[in-house]
Structure 1
Amino acid sequence: MADDQALGQVMTPSSIVTYMNGVEKLGGTNFTKWKGELMLILAIMDRDHSFREDKPVVPVSEGDNDATLVHRMAEYEKAKAQWERYRAFN
């Protein structure tokens, strides 16, 4: 099934399943096409985050009186949890 077919229509759960069932099994010569179709499915399902984003980096203190460290740590923990959650699905 061609990628342009999936992009040209509204993707419902039923059409996603239909598209998934139409993906040719991985063989010795079709890796590029297979990977593209698989990545499209993951993107449609919003499960490609950990492929698109690097793992978050722990923030470091910017001095003894770093007033923003607590906020940056909270943002890091949130981003890390999201990245790990998506990574678990991939």
Structure 2
Amino acid sequence: MDSTSSLSANVNNIHVLNDTNFKKWKEHVIIMLGCMDLDYALKEDRPTDLTSYSTAEQRAAMEKWERSNCMSLMIMKHSIPEAIRGAILEKTRTKTFLDHIAN
């Protein structure tokens, strides 16, 4: 199985969030993101904004964080009802997104 179909299978195995399964949904999402090495934005704060003086290491860290954040949000949004999805800003960070859903 190639990585695209594996990703798709993992994403489709997340049960849709409802009023009673937040704890289990969150646990499943975090485990899946960790197994896919996409949980960086959950574990690390967003790096400081890049400047013309930023090092290659700082640029790589920002790229890794942004990719993790973007992919994590897409995966989480895929498994929640549209009403919740629409109530959360597009530029939200992964940690903040989970906090909004928890509330």
- Structure 2 counterpart of 1:86: 68
Residue-by-residue CA offset, 1:34-78 (whole Å, 9 max, x unaligned): 11011111111111111111111359xxxxxxxxxx6x7332122
Are 1:20 and 1:41, in contact at CA under 8 Å, matched by a contact in 2?
Answer: no
| Residues 1:26 and 2:8 aligned together | no
How many residues get paired? 65
Q: Which runs of 5+ in 1 are unaligned?
A: 1-12, 60-69
- RMSD of aligned alpha carbons: 2.9
Greater relative contact order (CA < 8 Å, ≥ 6 in sequence): 2
TM-score (norm 1): 0.55
- Structure 1 counterpart of 2:58: 76
Q: Which runs of 5+ in 2 are unaligned?
A: 1-5, 73-103
Are 2:10 and 2:32, in contact at CA under 8 Å, matched by a contact in 1?
Answer: no
TM-score (norm 2): 0.49
| Residues 1:35 and 2:14 aligned together | no
- Structure 1 counterpart of 2:9: 17
| Fraction of identical pairs, as percent | 32
1:17 maps to amino acid: A
Structure whose alpha-carbon radius of gyration is higher: 1
- Structure 2 counterpart of 1:4: none
